[in-house]
Structure 1
Amino acid sequence: MAVALPKNFSEVRQHLQEPLIRNSFFIMASSFVAAGFGFFFWMIAARLYSQADVGIATALMSSMGLLILISRLGLDQAVIRFFPQRDKSKVLGTAIIVPTAVALGAGVIFVAAVDVIAPELVIVRTVAPLYLAFLGAYSITWVLEGALNAIRKSEYYFVLNLLYGLRILFLFPLVFLGAMGIFSSFGLSFVLGLILALALLSRCSIRPAAGVDRVFIREAWQFSAGAYIAGILMSAPNMVIPIMVLNVLGAESTANYYITYAIVSILFMIPYAFTTSLFVEGSHGGEMKKSVLRTLASMFALLIPAIIGLALFGEQILSLIGKDYVEGITLLRVLALSAVFVSICQTFISIAKVRNDIRSLIIISGFVSVALLGLGYTLMHQFGLIGMGYAWFATYAAGTLLTGVILWKKGWITSS
């Protein structure tokens, strides 16, 4: 099935106004804004703070991200999947209360057992109340971001990401706190984001209901349970790897990895934007095969030039962060090339979510998680930090082959 290309300005304008493309644009613009602010955030942090402080701060932020991921219970995905059919306020209230309670409980356990789980992060015990407050704000804001995309108000998601840029300003007055200054700058932006996101949803007549909708929980659980497991499997490596690098190679290597990954994540934001919009449109009943083809065409039209540009100018970009980070150029180029395979795997995941094929979702996410962490740990010991880059490339290349096999066996390649 061929996708007709627009032939004149009016057709281009109509194409851009389609919900799939429009929301993809705003999600992608949000991602680029976040990446741009992130670049300046880390560039300034690298100049104001020591490399060891940057390494500790990134591990702290990753630990919080991992706790958020564990606490989701798949309800953030259920918000997108079930918003069109159910009472939005009740769904949103439930999706906030339950995961945030779990996140705070997990946070208390992490703080209590940090000397066993991650001895390098024992500093978290001295700032436990602040850590838990930021954890709660992060948890709620995560759900609210998904709600804005679910109601096709991705332009509000864009505004929210503009606000997050204020974290750069916090770096200056908090420099005396060392690693906690970087971490606090990150956390304070989510407190502000929480306030703005609630105000934006209120403009759409959506306010989180106080209480848990047990009917929604029961109906969503079959979907959300699988999405939860798959989400943990796919996202956990991003949270675990900085902590793993810290334990294997030290704080300086952790800073190098995190900064390099933060730059390459600009590429990963392109498939994230398009596949998130694909999931939203599929949940609203859009024609899947047509949407998938448009997603792939639009995604690679942007992704391929971006990969080439980053590979060519990556060394100059790293040098802007600091001369100590230029040694990550080889890692940057390997991670950039892996973005092609990451895009295909992410597209498959969105298709599986819409079709409620939880088994395939767990198969591909489980493979990626186990292979990336296992290969990364093994190859880091053998090759150093670049070993993690090799692991990314090999894992997602193999994952792409696996998605092709699954699609062929299920007949999704030829079906409408």
Structure 2
Amino acid sequence: MNCAIISMSFPSVRPVTLMQPLTDLTICEGDIAQLEVRFSQENVEGTWRKNGQAISATDRIHIVIDKQVHKLLVENVSRDDAATYSFVVPAQDISTSGKLNIQTIDILSPLTDITAVEGTKAVMEAKISAADVTSVKWYHNDKLVMPSERIQMLAKGSKQRLVFHRTFASDEGTYKLCVGKADSSCKLTIEKIHITKHMEDQVCTETQNITFKVEVSHPGIAAVWTFKKQPLKASPKHKIEAKGKNYSLSVINTMKDEEGEYAFAAGEQTSSAKLTVSGGAINRPLQDVTVADSQTAELECEVANPTAEGKWLKDGQPVNFSDNVKHMNNGAVRRLVITITRPNDIGEYTYQVANSKTTANLRVEGRC
């Protein structure tokens, strides 16, 4: 009797690596707890457990699988949810666990009503029973407040602050701080401002300085200046001043590419004006000069801005100054003086400032 031996092979289980294990988590009572693990493969079969007991999904507890990530979400947590949670993968002999701690928060110092002038800084502050809590939410007329460059939420120890670096009239209303199941409310009142004197359009030539001026009903406003909707900061190029109710922006040594719309904002009040750069930086050009051999030659022009800096060129190259060749500035007048003219001084001279230049020829009698 012949017996046939049949061998069967079973596919081996592909090994799985735990890439992100559970860690301990502390949250405030009433918040949402999110526990999360990540594996090297997608759709790994495992079980969530609380103190060793399997967890099932409910209206409050959600089990989510997103490719390599497994999440356990517990809404509106209470002290009863404090426990050791684990995720177990029996087929791979993998288990990871972490503790969920629940904090009960109390308001120690509530928010208080405040009043601020539109465009100035305002700070709301409350003190809670726990330090450095980051799950705090702020609401304005029941709408969640989102942080921005103007509004910041800060936690410093047990103090929670909502900071308005520049208040708007539309910021007025009721504010509520919510942390866990605790909350505190206050009212913010904004004293509105108005612009009493608006900016005026400006026209200049290149390298001139111009100043935009605005007058506001209140002093001490945190004003913002912009050029083509981009914020401007004080710099050698832009001089920003505030004196009482008067605010000004000076544009130094203007160039053609600085032409356009400039705007001023104080709170939600705005004013704008246009800068037109209509001409070059030179008001009076150089003139050709002819002198006798060994005589003094002077080349002279006038610039638009007396403080503008320019350069002298001879045949396209920088002039070599010496005791015999000097340059002088007298207000807006720019002068090149050659005390004793020699044959090698003959040529084309240029004075250049910003994007403007003027050119003239120096000739010596009897020489080409």
Q: What band does the TM-score fall into relative to the shorter chain?
A: under 0.3
Higher normalized contact order (CA 8 Å, seq sep 6+, divided by chain length): 1
Higher helix share: 1
Higher strand share: 2
